[in-house]
Structure 1
Amino acid sequence: MMMARPKGNGAEVGKRLVAAAGRGFRTGGFGGIGVDALAGEAGLTSGAFYAHFGSKAVAFREAVRDGLQFTLASIQQFQENHGPEWQQHFARFYLGERMDADLPDACIFQTLTPDIARSDLETRQVYSGLLSEIISSLAHGFDGDRDRAWAFWSLLTGAGAMTRATTDAKAREEALQAVLKAALKV
């Protein structure tokens, strides 16, 4: 069965393809999903997928970039919308509502950081650059204190990754509440 070409202009189609690749990678990891499944997620043939991305590694890099840019924009939006109280609102959101997202829609830090650590240099450079922007944005909300920004972000993302992997609901809730208290003290 032939899959249809995606409808829309090139930029719109590109965004949809990157979003579909991101969902696929967050669900299966880089090594756990193949090009056929990624193409299927986007409603394309493998040939169309390769025509757009060139390789699975490029698709992964673009999905990483997209996920990190989404995170950065979310942090900035919380800072704008909540002023000095942004940390409390963001921490509660990240360890609450964001943890309820299904795996395909979960935060990239919770789902793909180990895969990024094993990826090619160019992907790790994209990650490093955008992580630096995220920390700078967080630091801006902490009056320029990068130590607080690193501690806050590490607590949230570490707890997110760890508790997403557990099957023990009580332990998950206990850990999330403990980390929320710690993050609010940062």
Structure 2
Amino acid sequence: MRYSAEHKKQTRAKVVIAAGQVFRKEGYGGAGIDALTKAAGVTNGAFYGHFKTKSEAFRTSILAGMEELRQGIAALKTEQAGGWLKVFVSFYLGYKRTCDLGDSCTLPTLSADVMRSDEDTRLAYTRELERLVSEIAAGLPEDAPRYAKGTSPEDRALLLLALLTGGVTLARAVNDPGLSERIAQLVVSEAVRNVE
């Protein structure tokens, strides 16, 4: 039986979403092909019809997660105009810190796995990170008095992403809810202060 191009596209999208959730929850090493196919509701043959290797599925999932974040920021900038940054930071250190790990952000959950991955994945991650930085930077004021003259919005966007990613990572890692909340509150106030 031959499937339509649309069916194949939908199946691939379903596999990418499911794989992203499994990779975020289990890490690259903990996510086997069986877990990936089970989560997507496809056979091994269907999985390999879309991806040659687990590494290719991982790379695609990473890029999809980063693109989702970039698009979310772009939408917030449109919907919230001047207040987008505070809304984003609060959401990131609120919901994205406390949601199921499979639904969390790619940056804090999978960046360590990217460090250990192949060069193609690291290159793709780097390019997507640069797009993400550009998206954030385009919504920041040109100059911020708190910084040395000439500090670019791109540098402030990098700082913001590093602060948020590290903050979520630490807040998720501790088993004390009070400490997790304290980390989140400190990062929220510092993140907003550092880019304005």
With the shorter chain as reference, the TM-score category is: over 0.9
Q: CA deviation at 1:126?
A: 1.1
Q: Could you state the TM-score of these two structures normalised by the residue count of structure 2?
A: 0.88
Q: CA deviation at 1:143?
A: 3.1
Q: Indicate the residue corresponding to 2:185 in structure 1.
A: 177
Equivalent residues of 2:170, 2:183 under 8 A apart:
no
- Report matched runs for 1:119-134 at 5 Å: 119-134=117-132
Matched AA of 1:94:
Y
Q: Indicate the residue corresponding to 1:157 in structure 2.
A: 165
After the TM superposition, which of the residue ranges 38-47 and 132-141 deviates more from structure 2?
38-47
Q: Indicate the residue corresponding to 2:148 in structure 1.
A: none
Number of aligned residue pairs: 180
Q: Which ranges in structure 2 are unaligned for 5 or more consecutive residues?
A: 143-152
Structure 1 CA distance, aligned partners of 2:74 and 2:189? 22
Q: CA deviation at 1:48?
A: 2.2
Equivalent residues of 1:110, 1:164 under 8 A apart:
no
Matched AA of 1:169:
P
Q: Indicate the residue corresponding to 1:66 in structure 2.
A: 64
SS in structure 1 at match of 2:138: helix
After the TM superposition, which of the residue ranges 13-22 and 136-145 deviates more from structure 2?
136-145
Please give the per-residue CA displacement for 1:40-69, whole angstroms capped at 9, x wherever unaligned.
111122222122211101110110111010
Q: Could you state the TM-score of these two structures normalised by the residue count of structure 1?
A: 0.92
Structure 2 CA distance, aligned partners of 1:84 and 1:30? 38
- Report matched runs for 1:1-186 at 5 Å: 9-144=7-142, 145-186=153-194
Structure 2 CA distance, aligned partners of 1:140 and 1:170? 35
Please give the per-residue CA displacement for 1:54-106, whole angstroms capped at 9, x wherever unaligned.
11011101101110100100111111111121111111111112222201111
Equivalent residues of 1:29, 1:112 under 8 A apart:
yes
Q: CA deviation at 1:17?
A: 0.7
Structure 1 CA distance, aligned partners of 2:67 and 2:141? 22
Q: Which ranges in structure 1 are unaligned for 5 or more consecutive residues?
A: none
Structure 2 CA distance, aligned partners of 1:128 and 1:16? 25
Q: CA deviation at 1:182?
A: 0.4
Matched AA of 1:99:
R
Structure 2 CA distance, aligned partners of 1:62 and 1:148? 27
Please give the per-residue CA displacement for 1:150-175, whole angstroms capped at 9, x wherever unaligned.
11111111101111111111110111
Matched AA of 2:62:
V
Matched AA of 1:9:
H
Equivalent residues of 2:98, 2:172 under 8 A apart:
no
Q: Percent identity?
A: 36
